[in-house]
Amino acid sequence: MPTATSTVSPSAAPLTQLSDEEKMFQNSVRRFAKERIGPHVREMDEAGLFRKELLHEMFELGLMGIEIPEEYGGQGGNFFQSVLAVEALAAVDPSAAVIVDVQNTIANNILIRWGTNEQKRCYLPKLARDTVAAFALSEAGSGSDAFGMASRAVRHGDHFLITGRKLWITNAAEAGIYFLFANANPEAGHRGITCFIVERGFPGFQVGKKEDKLGIRASSTCELIMDECRVPAENVLSEVGKGYKIAIETLNEGRIAIGSQMTGLAQGALDHAIAYAKQRHQFGKPIAEFQGVQFELAQMATEVEASRLLVYNSARLRDAGMPFVTEAAMAKYFASQVAETTASRAVEIFGGVGFTKDYPVEKLYRDAKIGRIYEGTSNMQKMTIAKQILGG
């Protein structure tokens, strides 16, 4: 895991309620993001491809195995550290952030929590060392209603045959391991949904079309095709029929990290806007001296800090083993709003040049939109919040 070896100037964001160790960790990730990822952001966005050497460096730095226990080659960290890493990366490139997010808060977490000892021994060292993972739940006909899935799994002796298609799967192009959901007992409805650990080379498994997206373009999003994909029975995660519970509880945690990604994105947009406002002159002085611009920056800074506090609070609750579902939904809902509005305001502060690809705020504006859609739309978060506060 990265550690600070020299003094690093933090961004405009205060290091809210962080220990010295957490500050050092966050600063080291920021430095890696700025120095190594930053120079390639525009190129990767235009190509729709994340550079392999940067992915390799993220593994070497321990950013892909933060919570994996040391006995399996991981860093032995906690969930909050994963959230800090995602936030720091997102301020430079939200695509890098979502790669680390899915690997840690979804894939590694799901295996640590639900895997057998044999599954952990087999897959955790790979996930810590060099293998990207993906979470395959969504389908063409099941977006917010993710459990209306059509994928089916049929038991044949010592293995299952899975048939179906998955859509919008993050990290799919680079992944070697997929946590894939299919219904092994359709008559039981959602109680038949089962999670399988699927390796890329399994017979009948294929990575399909890569989506050409509006934002986070360097992060791959692909279709998965299963044509009687043969999966050993020992690759069932937990047990048959537990997929619904596994997915719900995993996504509740993953939404905190999406909130962190959106907070980092908003902070990056704010940092760019502040720097530009100080150096851009109109009417003989920097535009930062105009009250209208100051008010915009003040509102942006306040909303970003509020977003950060919601995210940090929900992550701390999760690590403490306390209820956090409501707080996670609030963090994801609010942070995605803040990211979109902050990036939009940043474009306006830049003026005409902000509308061009020559400046980074245009990309951050495009990247922000997905925050209100994936891992539960804003409306789904509001439904969760409403049920909780109404005692549902």
| 3 pLDDT more than 50 | no
| 145 pLDDT more than 90 | no
What per-residue confidence (pLDDT) applies to 14? 47
What per-residue confidence (pLDDT) applies to 7? 29
The SS3 of residue 213 is coil
Whole-model pTM: value is 0.94
| 232 pLDDT more than 60 | yes
What per-residue confidence (pLDDT) applies to 17? 75
- Only one residue has tokens 């003040």, namely 298
Query: Active site residue: 223, 253, 340, 375, which one?
Result: 375
- Only one residue has tokens 């079309």, namely 209
DSSP state of 304: H
What per-residue confidence (pLDDT) applies to 144? 77
What per-residue confidence (pLDDT) applies to 392? 60
Chain segment 280-320, per-residue pLDDT in tens: 999 999 999 999 999 999 999 999 999 999 999 999 999 99
What per-residue confidence (pLDDT) applies to 8? 31
- Tokens representing 256? 């905190």
| 355 pLDDT more than 90 | yes
Q: How confident is the model at residue 147 (pLDDT cuts 50, 70, 90)?
A: confident
Pairing of strands 205-210, 221-232: antiparallel
Chain segment 25-74, per-residue pLDDT in tens: 999 999 999 999 999 999 999 999 999 999 999 999 999 999 999 999 99
What does the mean pLDDT of the chain come to? 94
Q: How confident is the model at residue 6 (pLDDT cuts 50, 70, 90)?
A: very low
What per-residue confidence (pLDDT) applies to 123? 98
Question: Is residue 211 annotated as part of the catalytic site, yes or no?
Answer: no
Q: How confident is the model at residue 142 (pLDDT cuts 50, 70, 90)?
A: confident
Query: CA-CA distance, 79 to 106, in Å (whole number)?
Result: 11
DSSP state of 3: -
**30 to 90, 106, 346: CA distances (angstroms):** 9, 22, 21
Q: What are the chain's domains?
A: 20-131 (1.10.540.10), 134-241 (2.40.110.10), 245-389 (1.20.140.10)
- CB–CB of 94/367 below 8 Å? yes
**282 to 126, 278, 286, 288, 293: CA distances (angstroms):** 55, 11, 6, 10, 12
| 116 pLDDT more than 80 | yes
Chain segment 235-254, per-residue pLDDT in tens: 999 999 999 999 999 999 99
Q: How far is CA 339 from the centre of its chain?
A: 14
| 1 pLDDT more than 90 | no
Q: How confident is the model at residue 16 (pLDDT cuts 50, 70, 90)?
A: low
- CB–CB of 34/92 below 8 Å? yes
What per-residue confidence (pLDDT) applies to 152? 98
Mean pLDDT of 195-223: 98
DSSP state of 236: B
- Only one residue has tokens 């392999």, namely 52
Mean pLDDT of 144-173: 94
| 10 pLDDT more than 60 | no
Q: How confident is the model at residue 356 (pLDDT cuts 50, 70, 90)?
A: very high
